[in-house]
């Protein structure tokens, strides 16, 4: 629908007339609010850039691949935190996307409507639970289960597979990348289900009926017609989930072990950018220390930015392969 069309009904009117009937006022007010968002974002980047000056001047690009984080000898590098943030986010998506997508397809396409609605209500509730609660769930449930059940199971099975097995080796204390990823996955699954379900429900009935009329089974109609139609929206839900995973602080810091080291095993302890900022910011006394923490914030912002950019490109690329006509 073309949003601008109704304003010109009856030909062009004077500015005063438009002001009087409110169109111009509404236009200006909404414009201001939209501009505020842009302003806040650029102020954020500017502040992060300026406040991280000391650290950028001292370490330059080396900051990104240095592995030491030493507040006593004032030597800072972001590599273990970038690594931890990426690993936990990616692994949590690997767990959450199939789970969330399958649940959304079931709720939108297969489940009876009133059951689907009541479950969707519960899922929206889950999305609103504070992250510290998920952290507690992590400490008291996920950590012991990973230490005593999931960990040994993975070590004895996938751990023996060549190449990929290296991800499942070493001592397993229950806290670490895998546990953090599982907790993150639990936290982001509601986002994926909720948004994907809504999107799937908006797919026009005709699309389904056409596919069924062509002789497709119900599953074929769902998987080959409905899901591709909703692809953009589903991707959107995944990126929303990714954004939450990248920035999640409390729940992650409670279960990841907070140890700034790069290790390939998923059972090893690690650290994420958001977690280290939350942990160390209040007691950071030195100027360079503070500046390095702020530069970590800048790195996180840029990571989110780049990943979102890649996501857009991915959407455009996959759109050519079919799906929703625009």
Partner 1 sequence: MRKSLLVALLVLGLAATAGAQSGGTVLLNAAGATFPYPIYSKWFDVYHTDHSNVQINYQSIGSGGGIRQLTAGTVDFGASDGPMNDQQIGDFKSAHGGAGVLHFPTVLGADVPSYNIPGVSGELNFTQKALAGIYLGQITKWNDPEIAKANPGVSLPSADIVVVHRSDGSGTTYIWTDFLSKVSDEWKNKVGTGTSVNWPVGLGGKGNEGVTGLVKQTPNSIGYVELIYALSNNIPYGKVQNSSGKFLKADLVGVTAAAAGAAKDMPDDFRVSITNAPGATAYPISSFTWLLIPAQISDATKRDAIKGFLKWMLADGQGYNESLSYAKLPKPVVAKELKAISLIK
Q: Does 171 bind partner 1 (CB under 8 A)?
A: yes
Q: Pick between residue 52 and residue 194 the one whose CB is nearest to partner 1.
A: 52
Q: How far is CA 217 from CA 201, 203, 211, 320, in A?
A: 19, 17, 8, 25
**Smallest distance from the beta carbon of 173 to partner 1, in angstroms?**
5
Q: Does 254 bind partner 1 (CB under 8 A)?
A: yes
Q: Does 269 bind partner 1 (CB under 8 A)?
A: yes
49 Cβ neighbours under 8 A, 6+ residues apart? 298
Q: Does 273 bind partner 1 (CB under 8 A)?
A: no
Q: Pick between residue 15 and residue 73 the one whose CB is nearest to partner 1.
A: 73
- In order, the DSSP letters of 76-139 are E--HHHHHHHHHHHHHHHHHHHHHHHHHHHIIIIIS-HHHHHHHHHHHHHHHTS-HHHHHHHII
Q: Tokens representing 311?
A: 């996501």
Interacting span for partner 1 (CB under 8 A) from 6-14, 17-25, 219-227, 277-285: 277-285
Q: Does 68 bind partner 1 (CB under 8 A)?
A: yes
Task: Kindly identify the residues of this chain, within the stretch 213-252, that bind partner 1 according to CB under 8 A.
Answer: none
Task: Kindly identify the residues of this chain, within the stretch 78-107, that bind partner 1 according to CB under 8 A.
Answer: none
Q: Does 73 bind partner 1 (CB under 8 A)?
A: yes
Interacting span for partner 1 (CB under 8 A) from 33-41, 54-62, 63-71, 121-129: 63-71
CB atoms near residue 190 (< 10 Å) = 23
Q: Tokens representing 77?
A: 């590098």
Q: Does 70 bind partner 1 (CB under 8 A)?
A: yes
CA-based end-to-end distance of the chain = 12
SS3 content of the chain, % helix, strand, coil (to 5): 75, 0, 25
- β-strand 75-76 against 69-70: which pairing, if any? antiparallel
Is residue 272 within 8 Å of 244, Cβ to Cβ? no
Question: x/- binding map, residues 174-203, to partner 1, per CB under 8 A?
Answer: xx----------------------------
Q: Does 272 bind partner 1 (CB under 8 A)?
A: no
Question: x/- binding map, residues 9-48, to partner 1, per CB under 8 A?
Answer: --------------------------------------x-
Q: How far is CA 87 from CA 57, 106, 116, 264, in A?
A: 28, 29, 33, 10
The single residue among 130, 144, 309, 322 that binds partner 1, judged by CB under 8 A, is 144
d(CA 28, CA 44): 24
**Smallest distance from the beta carbon of 113 to partner 1, in angstroms?**
43
Q: How far is CA 245 from CA 191, 217, 275, 311, in A?
A: 11, 36, 12, 15
Q: Pick between residue 159 and residue 176 the one whose CB is nearest to partner 1.
A: 176
d(CA 119, CA 188): 16
The single residue among 59, 63, 69, 191 that binds partner 1, judged by CB under 8 A, is 69
**Smallest distance from the beta carbon of 283 to partner 1, in angstroms?**
3
Give residues in contact with partner 1 (CB under 8 A).
Answer: 47, 50-51, 68-73, 139, 143-144, 147, 171, 173-175, 253-254, 257-260, 269, 271, 275, 278-285
């Amino acid at each position: 629908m073309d949003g601008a069309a109704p304003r010109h009904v009856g030909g062009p009117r004077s500015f005063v007339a438009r002001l009087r009937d409110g169109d111009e006022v509404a236009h200006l007010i909404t414009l201001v609010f939209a501009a505020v968002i842009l302003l806040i974002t650029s102020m954020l980047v500017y502040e992060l850039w300026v406040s991280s000056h000391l650290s950028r001047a001292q370490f330059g690009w080396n900051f990104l691949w240095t592995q030491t984080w030493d507040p006593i000898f004032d030597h800072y590098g972001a590599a273990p935190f970038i690594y931890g943030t990426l690993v936990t986010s990616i692994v949590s998506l690997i767990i959450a996307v199939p789970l969330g997508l399958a649940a959304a397809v079931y709720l939108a396409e297969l489940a009876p409507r009133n059951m689907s609605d009541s479950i969707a209500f519960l899922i929206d509730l889950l999305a609103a639970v504070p992250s510290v609660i998920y952290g507690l769930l992590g400490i008291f449930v996920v950590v012991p289960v990973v230490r005593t059940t999931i960990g040994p199971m993975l070590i004895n099975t996938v751990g023996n597979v060549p190449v990929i097995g290296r991800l499942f080796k070493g001592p397993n204390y229950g806290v670490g990348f895998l546990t953090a990823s599982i907790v993150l996955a639990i936290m982001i699954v509601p986002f994926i289900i909720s948004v994907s379900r809504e999107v799937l429900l908006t797919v026009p009935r005709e699309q389904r009926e056409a596919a069924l009329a062509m002789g497709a089974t119900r599953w074929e109609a769902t998987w080959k017609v409905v899901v591709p139609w909703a692809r953009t929206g589903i991707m959107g839900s995944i990126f929303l989930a990714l954004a939450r995973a990248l920035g999640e602080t409390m729940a992650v810091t409670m279960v990841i072990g907070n140890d700034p080291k790069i290790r390939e095993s998923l059972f090893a302890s690690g650290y994420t950018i958001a977690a280290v900022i939350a942990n160390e910011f209040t007691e950071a006394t030195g100027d360079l220390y503070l500046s390095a923490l702020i530069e970590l914030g800048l790195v996180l912002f840029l990571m989110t930015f780049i990943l979102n950019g890649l996501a857009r490109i991915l959407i455009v690329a996959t759109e050519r392969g079919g799906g929703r006509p625009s």
